[in-house]
Amino acid sequence: MGQTQTKYNNNIWPNLESKEEYFIKNGGILLEKQIALNQGQLKGAGQLKIFSSREIEKATDSYNPDLIVNRNPYSTVYKATLEDRIVAVSARFTYKSPNSQID
């Protein structure tokens, strides 16, 4: 098979397996258990819910640059609307060097 060069890719989930690994690595299962134990309630925080990547993409209008509130080297914060509420969504994207190569 030939080598293919990739350019900037703001898709943090190149495949489902890495998304699941990221979720587990960053405490997603523990968070799900805590939400279940507290029936979705956390003192002082109101209702807790994990949103899907599709819901987040829709809420940020496909990561519309006009909705950027703040940007730093590690993440971009977007103004978004989830369940009829205005919220801030922090999105972390991976950067693939134009010189990186994949099969």
pLDDT in tens, 38-48: 665 555 556 66
Low-confidence ranges of the chain (pLDDT < 50): 1-10, 100-103
Q: What pLDDT does residue 102 have? A: 46
Q: What is the DSSP string of 31-66?
A: HHHHHHHTTTEETTTEE--PPPHHHHHHHTTTT-GG
Predicted confidence at residue 12, as pLDDT, reads: 52
Q: Quick one: pLDDT at residue 92?
A: 79
What pLDDT does residue 75 have?
A: 87
Nearest-angstrom CA–CA distance, 25 and 98: 27
pLDDT for the residue 28: 74
> Residue 53 has what pLDDT?
86
In this prediction, residue 52 carries a pLDDT of: 85
Collapsing DSSP to helix, strand or coil, 102 comes out as: strand
Please tell me whether the overall predicted TM-score, pTM, comes out greater than 0.95 for this model. Answer: no
Rounded Cα distance between 102 and 99, Å, is 10
